[in-house]
Structure 1
Amino acid sequence: MWAAVMGSALAKCALADLAIQWLGWAVASALKTEKFYDLAGSGTFVLLAHLSRRWGGSGYRRQSIQTGLVTVWGLRLGLFLFLRILREGKDRRFNNVRDDPGTFFTYWTVQAVWVFVTLLPTLILNTERRDLPLGGRDYLGWAMWGLGFATEAIADQQKWDFKRDPDNNGKFIQSGLWAYSRHPNYLGEILQWGGLFLSASSVMRGAQQHLSVVSPLFVWFLLRYVSGIPILEKQALKKWGSDPAFQQYIQNTPLLWPFLG
């Protein structure tokens, strides 16, 4: 019985996810804008976390805490990215995309996949009817999330403040957390979803549910090899590649994981 409830709730979450992203695409394509793309993505995380908890019908403490952490993450990141694109006016990821409805549709559909896969451990947790006492994996996972949240939020704020300073015009940031990692915000993102998988795994049963470990692995792979670090590294090399200070920075500062080279 529990498997049928879980399957039904997961299916409804997947359909809601697609519906939101495709509606977002329709509006964004008509307006030829990407300004609410990231806001829609983070908002969908929050909505699905709460819907899955409601459709799961249990509302245990573990589920409430996990849903709350996803909500805090989504509200902070969504607002931050929305304010950033309002300030900058555009997102370079969408150059030659926002005017092509077909390609734009692909971007919004990929976002739907990103939302569902990344959130999958929390969706499984929220639709699990079995409750267990809170234990080590819960606390360790939530502590890992907290470390990641602080890392990402601090790194984002440090870069925001750096760019707002006119004296830093045309310069690259290498202070604060950016002195220990060239992409500390992405490091924080990976830690958060790794922590949420760890806490959710405390009630998982069977290999099928544990396969949701694909969530943090997917986040890591996406940021490390697809849409995050490769694009930013290429842009940075194009802008500062001939600067000796930048060459020294990339030689002495780990790409992602501090102290690992």
Structure 2
Amino acid sequence: MTRCNEEPLVGGNVSAGVVRVGDTVRRPAGPWTPAVHALLDHLHGVGFHAAPRPLGIDEQGREVLTFVPGVTVWPDHFALMEGLDGVERVARLIREFHDAVQGFAPPPDAPWQVLIPPDRCEIIAHHDLAPWNLVAGDGAWAFIDWDVAAPGSRLWDLAYACQSFIPLSADPAWRRADAAARLSVFADAYGLDEGQRRELVSLLGRRAWSMHDFLRAQAAARHQPWATLWQQGHGDTWRSNAEYIEERQELWARALLDGGRG
């Protein structure tokens, strides 16, 4: 395969070496790749197709995945999430994934890429369910970038997804006056019960702080690309978001516990 056939794919914060070749995507592989491919094979096997299909390893040692056609929602197409129908759709898609992965038996001693320790381990979670990993195609949405999939919980995945899709942001450019209402719709569409809603309230701030603390630790150790992200102010953003979320914890609780259950 010649380099002239490769189209670099950019977006997100960690995309070095990701290219498109025809109807496939080639990405740098790691020790976790076989486990991730087993996960993706399982998802397709049980009928969840909102993820790329793994096609093995190429002659350069890169993982090969099917290309997911469409547009990445963040940042130029976040208008797809403006209405409540977008919030409902992504919440239902995440629920479909979580239900589909419930029966997955990981390979023995699978070396997952664990960046941040989760609250607990009950499923193999995506850990980066966000608009920059959501591709909207003609009639179909799909999540990409599964390389940090690892043991976690439904609510740990959801706490991160709520921050990015609602969004729960301290930035005036992204702060939503209707954030509480959108959070309620998200929980209803996913189908959270009362106990899960109460737990999610406490996890929202904790999940945001986990991102700040991770970036700070990686910057101190001079690990890339995290050190550069810290220098660019991503740590400050997560700290501000965590404080914003915690200051409004009662608001989120009312939205989740007193809002309509749909």
**TM-score of the aligned structures, taking structure 1 as reference length:** 0.29
- Please state which structure has a larger fraction of its residues in helix: 1
**TM-score of the aligned structures, taking structure 2 as reference length:** 0.29
- More relative contact order, 1 or 2 (CA 8 Å, 6+ apart): 1
**Rg comparison, structure with higher value:** 1
